Amino acid sequence: MGAGRFAPSPSGPLHLGNLRTAILAWLFARSTQRDFLLRIEDLDRVRSGAEATQIFELESLGLQFDGSLLRQSERLPLYFEAVKQLEERGLVFPCFCSRKDIAEAASAPHAAPGAYPGTCRNLSSAEREVKAKERPAALRLRSEVTEFSVHDQLAGDYTGVVDDFVLVRNDGAPAYNLAVVLDDALCGIDQVVRGDDLLSSAPRQAYLATLLSYEVPDYVHVPLALNTKGQRLAKRDGAVTLEEITEHGVHPADVVAILLESLGLPSTSLQAALEAFDPVNLPREPWIVEPEKIVQQLMPPASRNR
């Protein structure tokens, strides 16, 4: 019945929030009899050794994946073929704007919040020729809608902005929104479980999927793990990665227990959590992480008294 997936970027070790989302993606996939795939999104921000570290961390938690490991960097021809198809339909145009240009245009009165303002959409051939001498072009989708609606299992119906978003960056690399749509569709992934910070990206991706005649996947955007200031977890928070926590003598199974407890699930094992899993009962609020308390709670008694 299709597949779910976990798709980290190999930019460093996975923190507790990433690991929690990975467990949720596994639970959603397994509870619906789907395969569970691992994809490495390595088109950007690749750190040497990070992929191997992340795979080791996921396996340490007891997560098992089906099929072969997927890497975006090995799938470039598929992305460019899709762009070619869209170009042939007149749905792609070159954009010469810098981030500064877009930010300034987007701050103008009557500009749609967060949307590309269409600066390069209708340039003449002569104008494009002049701009091409100044900077390389990105390729944008010539969107025929301004918004699109998706259904999310936790958030319900959600309508978001769809602008002329980037398909190929000006360095020639496929953009995130293009790559994930192709990867999910061509690998039979029909369930997308990820952090709710990406909910606003879903309308763009769903719209692109429909343009390419792909089925829109079932979306599940789950609450993030945040620090005590309400910000996304980062290195500055300390002891938020599996490696940092296990350095204190904590076993990965104990970390799994903490993550399952944060979801209101039995903490004895992943299998026990799967048997009790019901999306209706999942927390809808962010999980506030206090690393020092977690480490203190999990540390072996002998270590606490040092």
Instruction: Write the CB contacts of 87 (distance below 8 Å, at least 6 apart in sequence).
Output: none
Question: Under a CB-based contact definition with an 8 Å cutoff, are residues 3 and 29 in contact?
Answer: yes
User: What CA–CA distances, in Å, run from 215 to 212, 218, 221?
Assistant: 9, 9, 18
Q: Dihedrals φ, ψ of 288, to 5°?
A: -85, 120
Residues comprising the binding site?
A: 5-9, 41, 95, 97, 116, 120, 176, 194, 235
User: What CA–CA distances, in Å, run from 49 to 12, 56, 240?
Assistant: 8, 11, 19
Residues comprising the binding site for L-glutamate?
A: 5-9, 41, 176, 194
Nearest to 242 by CA among 12, 39, 6, 29: 12
Residues comprising the binding site for ATP?
A: 235
Question: Under a CB-based contact definition with an 8 Å cutoff, are residues 44 and 77 in contact?
Answer: no
- In angstroms, rounded to a whole number, what is the distance separating the alpha carbons of residues 235 and 243? 12
Residue 47 pairs with which residues in a beta bridge?
none
Residues comprising the binding site for Zn(2+)?
A: 95, 97, 116, 120
DSSP designation for 68: -
